[in-house]
Structure 1
Amino acid sequence: MCGIVGLFIKDPQLEPELGSLLSTMLGVMCDRGPDSAGFAIYGEGSPGSVKLTLRGPEGTDFAGLAAGLGLPATIRDTHAVLTVPVGQEMAVRASLAASASGIAVVGAGERMEIYKEVGLPTQVAKRFGLERMAGTHAIGHTRMATESAVTTDGAHPFSTGADQCLVHNGSLSNHRGLRRRLEREGLAFATDNDSEVAAAYLTSRMRTGDTLGQALEHSLDDLDGFYTFVVGTESGFGVLRDPIACKPAVMAETQSYVAFGSEYRALADLPGIAQARVWEPEPAKVYFWNRLQ
């Protein structure tokens, strides 16, 4: 069943409250996805640097790992964010692969950080201190595993491109064939989750020159199934429902924010929601909000 939430801040004065607002939205979606949860948050970045979000087993010595690499790190429970000069990213990835057993890179980008774990969404948000995080926009997911195991690897969001990630509600019927095609293009997969295939598909299309909007439009022809996608990028977030639109979705917009929820109750505690324009996104229509506009 799963639950999706997203929040795009238009008023800079609301940016310090991004994490707190998203945490509440995730908590409301607990009963749509009690198995695991995750979120991507877009905060401050450093030009010329990339954030690598690492995930490791409980008890991982992230402080020692970061010290050995000579890099600053922000440690949050089972995750850590390394700030790496762009020119050193490939060397750091190679070093992690060679010597840091059990460590996975779950996201990379100038501004994006990704956190996900098994457990109730409220507990996952608390473990990572989501309510204290600030930023311009964020997306989140609560998972009810129906087609793959309940694991942290299977939790959303999935990222296969810099500062880009995807959360997905629904099911893709042709993901196995699409996975094989993408693997021939050189894309690698860490899980059996069809949502990771959808994320990789968008990355593949954008490598050929598509904008994100064009990639999402092409997905309507290339991806079979029923789904809602919410995609985060460095500059904003987008929404797409399949042509049938059988999965529930609702959006709200005020002068201060744009919000997405699988159900209206996920938006009910947002400030000014009583005055918001509220609507159900149309089938097969790409919506996108960009902070650079």
Structure 2
Amino acid sequence: MCGIVGLHLRNPDLYPRLGELLSGMLGEMQDRGADSAGIAVYGNPTWAPAGHACVSLLELDVDPAAAATALGAVVGAPVAAQYVDNTLVVSADVATDDLLAAARTTYPTALVAGFGNDLTVLKGVGAPRDLAASWDLASASGWQGVGHTRMATESAVTPAGAHPYAVGPEQCLVHNGSFSNHATIRRELRAQGVEFDSENDTEVGARFVAHQLAQGRDVETALKEVCATFDGFYTLVVSNRDSFAVVRDAIACKPAVIAGTADWVAMASEYRALAHLPGVENARIWEPEPEVVYAWTR
């Protein structure tokens, strides 16, 4: 089943409340998927200082001070490192590619959960409300966030199988549904040199979108290619540092609702995840049409 949420803040006065609002949205989706969860937060300076490259690492057991020293020696600049529950978040005022390469070289067995300027990705196994509390999500600030609660159907319940899938710079994808032809598309992408971290069908969608964007296509075109290429039932949210977009398959059997005001745009699998947002009583609320790409830019 799974539950997905996304919140794009238009009013900077609400930035300090991003985590509070996103935490409430995620918690409301717990009964759609209680085995694991994840979030992507854009703009929380506690985790990712403004304008700094940030890499989120899972499946790693290392002292954060030692990690900061080791990575700083590679990139030639000071590195900050901290654990947020089980995720080691490292940041530095360097190019994202340089910090990412240093992390992969220094800790080759770690799982890269996300990377990019101002972006932090946290994923874990367990009930979404418990995970949100362990991350202290309610205290996070920022301008945009997406989240996912998972009911596993396609792969193991592990951090690697949890969403979001953040496989391109500052890009994230969350998914409710199932891609029936993911194995074929995975083979085609691997033949083009794309590497995978899991057997999850959602990762195939994320790698496909990232591959499209890396070739210069915009998000709308990439998501239209998803609709043309993937079989199955799905609602997707794709985000980058400055925007997020929503698309559903041709049958649109997976639930989704979008709401918007002058202060924010939000989406969720069910309206109850939006009911606590400020001013929702005056929002425009609608169900996205099949295969129509809805996108908003900061």
TM-score normalised by the shorter chain: which range applies?
A: over 0.9
Please give the secondary structure, in 2, of the residue aligned with 1:268.
coil
CA change 1:222–1:88 in 2 (3 A) is closer
Deviations 1:110-134 (A, max 9, x none): 1211001000000111111111111
C-alpha contact 1:249 1:260 (8 A) present in aligned 2: yes
Q: Count residues in correspondence.
A: 288
Separation (CA, whole Å) in 2 of partners of 1:256 and 1:264: 18
Distance of 1:101 and 1:216 partners within structure 2: 31
Per the alignment, residue 31 of structure 2 pairs with 31
CA offsets 1:143-176 (integer angstroms, 9 cap, x no match): 0001211111100000111000100000001111
> Does 2:205 correspond to 1:205?
no
Deviation at 1:15, TM superposition (A): 0.7
Given the alignment of the two structures, is residue 75 of structure 1 paired with residue 83 of structure 2, yes or no? Answer: yes
TM-score in terms of structure 2 length: 0.92
Is there any run of 5+ residues in structure 2 with no aligned partner, and where?
73-78
- 1:197-220, CA deviations, whole angstroms, 9 ceiling, x for partnerless residues? 001101111222210110001111
Shift in CA distance, 111/96, structure 1 to aligned 2, threshold 3 Å: closer
**C-alpha distance in structure 1 between counterparts of 2:63 and 2:24, whole Å:** 30
Q: Any unmatched runs of 5+ in structure 1?
A: none
TM norm structure 1: 0.93
Question: Which of 109, 112, 122 is equivalent to 1:115?
Answer: 122
Please, which of 195, 204, 208 is the counterpart of residue 202 of structure 2? Answer: 195
Find the counterpart in structure 1 of residue 190 from structure 2. 183
Query: 1:218 and 1:240 mapped to 2: Cα distance?
Result: 11
Aligned-pair CA distance for 1:98: 4.7
Secondary structure in 2 matching 1:168 = strand
Number of the residue aligned with 1:50:
53
Query: Contact conserved, 1:54 with 1:81, CA < 8 A, in 2?
Result: yes
Match of 1:41 in 2: 41
1:102-181 matches, cutoff 5 A: 102-181=109-188
Indicate the residue corresponding to 1:61 in structure 2. Answer: 63
Superposition RMSD on alpha carbons, in Å? 1.7
User: How far apart are residue 97 of structure 1 and its match?
Assistant: 3.9
Task: Give the letter for the 1:38 counterpart.
Answer: G
Q: 1:95, CA displacement in angstroms?
A: 4.7
Q: Describe the shift of the 1:254–1:206 C-alpha distance in structure 2 as closer, same or farther (beyond 3 A).
A: same
